Amino acid sequence: MNKGSKIRLLTAGLCVGAAAAAFTPSTASGAGAVVARGGLVELNASGVHGQVTIIDQDGQLRVDLDAHNLEANGHLEHLHGFGDGTQAHCPDASLAGPDGILSFADGLPAYGPPVITFGHDEIAGSTLAYSRTFDQTMAGQPVSTLGAIHQYVVVVHGMTLPDGTYDETLPVACAVLTTR
């Protein structure tokens, strides 16, 4: 065993110890969980609305997403943010620039890059609803490396542009997350 793996094992042992100390048998259900909720607010006048709940517990994120008034087509849903404590925001329409269309890139200064893909879904109707659990980021890191969940926002993408082409990456709704 090399020195590096010994240190990692010791760190893991300490984490287990800390978790055990904080565990209270009488509140076994949901102990240590952080619950973040947010309302999906439309972008690009999409009319899309809905609700997102993220439960951060035991190194896993459970994502309950419920979005309505979507186009029957392909959609991407991500957790977006900067991951360094910088608060991500839902983009203001003014970021759209002269063309009035808030592109994926236009929104980046506000919402930051995607850090977890919650889904890439082809829908036949106008509703997208699921509960999915994630233990890794897009970069392959444990979700525990994300830090406080409320520094991130959830963005739903996918809408037809005025020229008639479908843009799967166009932001159509965004949710700020609050934990209380």
Given 55, 79, 146, 155, the residue binding Cu ion (CB under 5 A): 155
Residues 116-135 contacting Cu ion, CB under 5 A? none
* Binding residues with Cu ion: total (CB under 5 A): 3
Residues 6+ apart with CB under 8 A from 34: 55, 56, 57, 149, 179
CB atoms under 10 Å from CB of 51, counted, come to 15
Residue 95 burial (C-beta neighbours within 10 Å; 0-12, 13-18, 19+): middle
Whichever of 33 and 86 has its CB closer to Cu ion, that residue is: 86
Distance from C-alpha of 38 to C-alpha of 50, rounded to nearest angstrom: 9
Whichever of 57 and 121 has its CB closer to Cu ion, that residue is: 121
Q: Which residue is nearest to Cu ion (CB)?
A: 78
Closest listed residue to residue 80, CA positions, set 156, 2, 172: 156
Residues 17-76 contacting Cu ion, CB under 5 A? none
Whichever of 78 and 150 has its CB closer to Cu ion, that residue is: 78
Whichever of 58 and 122 has its CB closer to Cu ion, that residue is: 122
Whichever of 55 and 79 has its CB closer to Cu ion, that residue is: 79
Say whether residue 78 binds Cu ion (CB under 5 A): yes
Given 38, 107, 114, 158, the residue binding Cu ion (CB under 5 A): 114
Tell me how far, at minimum, the Cβ of 85 lies from Cu ion, in Å: 20
Tell me how far, at minimum, the Cβ of 11 lies from Cu ion, in Å: 32
Tell me how far, at minimum, the Cβ of 61 lies from Cu ion, in Å: 15
For Cu ion, the binding residues (CB under 5 A) are 78, 114, 155
